[in-house]
Amino acid sequence: MRLARDLEHRPKADEDADGFEADIIAGLSAHPKTTPPKYFYDEAGSALFEEICGTPEYYVTRAETALLQSVVHELVSSIAADAVLVEFGSGASDKTRLILDAAPHIGTYVPIDISPDALQRAAERISRDYPALRVAPLADDFTRAVALPAHVGHAPRVGFFPGSTIGNFAPQEAIWFLRSVRSLLGVRAQLIIGVDMIKDPARLVAAYDDSMSVTARFNKNLLARINRELRGDFDLDAFDHQAIWNPTLERMEMHLVSRFDQLVHVAGHGFAFKAGERLHTESSHKFSVESFKALAVSAGWVIDRYWLSSNPEFAIFSLTAPA
């Protein structure tokens, strides 16, 4: 096993900090106020998200994992020997193990994640459990990754994008991202992608506002990170977590709602919040089979096949980049 212990293309700390500050200041200056969801995932946020995945209400991980388990051998049947598996937003890499177990002929695994510490720990676990696999972690915002590690060469490439993270993008952003993935992976590459389906709004809201308030802590952890890294003075108790279904845009939304009129400072800037004003922290679009097909085709992908769980609750699509 050869693990790239020094994370390849790891962004410099000052570049990360500058981008974080610029994005947060821009978002808090906007109307309505908003923040990019990628900044949820510092070390504490990543741990809280893993905790969310275990809550009774958060069906997404269980539904996708069960579906993957039932179709994985069909799913990997077209993966070539010594292929490179590239995972976008790898997190703990738990679902990846289903792919690796079913396709031991995969030669290299490239997990891409914005949290260097979580990425390194996950890569070390994968390398320990799959000693024949080359693991090359790439610490980066997966939406801006423009090159794979040089030693990947021209081996066949398979992208893996589970968790319905594609729903965090607005439709045009999702098309742009899928086009960038196609460019990164190259012609004839395969993309395995998990997609959450439109369903009963009550079930959706419960998944984003669990009874143990783990999601609320996850949402507010962003404010704690801003306080710690950007000299902020957010009072976490002055904001309430809110999850709502937006039927017009077919998406779940997470907000932090100001309890009263207040002034908050971040990186030397002041931001006024009115009582009841929302800070929009995340959107999670949900799909029908038809709407996701249209999205993927618009981004230049060919639909190979797809699988649906019961209800239907979740879908897995296999896409191919045309020559």
Q: Give 151-162 pLDDT, tens digit per residue.
A: 788 899 999 999
Look at the chain and count its residues: 323
Instruction: Enumerate the β-bridge partners of residue 34.
Output: 280
Instruction: Note whether 273 and 151 are same-domain residues.
Output: no
In a domain, 154, yes or no: yes
Q: Give 211-254 pLDDT, tens digit per residue.
A: 999 999 999 999 999 999 999 999 999 999 999 999 999 999 99
Q: What pLDDT shows up at residue 147? A: 79
Instruction: Note whether 31 and 99 are same-domain residues.
Output: no
Instruction: Note whether 81 and 210 are same-domain residues.
Output: no
Q: What pLDDT shows up at residue 227? A: 98
Q: Which has the closest alpha carbon to 178: 303, 300, 306, 96?
A: 300
Q: What pLDDT shows up at residue 308? A: 96
In a domain, 34, yes or no: yes
In the predicted structure, residue 309 carries a pLDDT above the cut 90:
yes
In a domain, 184, yes or no: yes
Query: How far is the CA of 177 from the CAs of 144, 173, 180, 300, in angstroms?
Result: 9, 6, 5, 11
Instruction: Note whether 280 and 207 are same-domain residues.
Output: yes
In the predicted structure, residue 112 carries a pLDDT above the cut 70:
yes
In the predicted structure, residue 91 carries a pLDDT above the cut 80:
no
Q: Which has the closest alpha carbon to 259: 272, 273, 271, 269?
A: 273
In the predicted structure, residue 10 carries a pLDDT above the cut 70:
no
Q: Name the domain count of the chain.
A: 2
Instruction: Note whether 131 and 230 are same-domain residues.
Output: no
In a domain, 151, yes or no: yes
Instruction: Note whether 82 and 133 are same-domain residues.
Output: yes
Q: Is the whole model's pTM more than 0.85, yes or no?
A: yes
In a domain, 51, yes or no: no
Q: How far apart (Å, rounded) are the C-alpha atoms in residues 250 and 287?
A: 8
* Residues 47-67, mean pLDDT to the nearest whole number: 94
In the predicted structure, residue 11 carries a pLDDT above the cut 80:
no
Instruction: Note whether 155 and 192 are same-domain residues.
Output: yes
Q: How far apart (Å, rounded) are the C-alpha atoms in residues 5 and 25?
A: 34
* Residues 163-179, mean pLDDT to the nearest whole number: 94
Q: What pLDDT shows up at residue 81? A: 94
In a domain, 4, yes or no: no
Range of the domain at 275: 13-40+200-285
Instruction: Note whether 251 and 136 are same-domain residues.
Output: no
Band of residue 13 on the pLDDT scale cut at 50, 70, 90: very low
What are the structure tokens assigned to 110, written together?
């490239």
In the predicted structure, residue 188 carries a pLDDT above the cut 50:
yes
Instruction: Enumerate the β-bridge partners of residue 272.
Output: 263
Instruction: Note whether 26 and 173 are same-domain residues.
Output: no
Instruction: Note whether 206 and 239 are same-domain residues.
Output: yes
Q: How far apart (Å, rounded) are the C-alpha atoms in residues 145 and 150?
A: 13
Q: Which amino acid is at 309?
A: S
Q: How far apart (Å, rounded) are the C-alpha atoms in residues 19 and 317?
A: 33
Q: What pLDDT shows up at residue 17? A: 65
Instruction: Note whether 154 and 36 are same-domain residues.
Output: no
Q: Which amino acid is at 119?
A: L
Q: Which amino acid is at 247?
A: P
Q: How far apart (Å, rounded) are the C-alpha atoms in residues 33 and 37?
A: 13
In a domain, 7, yes or no: no
Band of residue 16 on the pLDDT scale cut at 50, 70, 90: low
What are the structure tokens assigned to 11, written together?
């962004």
Instruction: Note whether 221 and 276 are same-domain residues.
Output: yes
Question: Which CATH number characterizes residue 313's domain?
Answer: 3.40.50.150
In a domain, 226, yes or no: yes
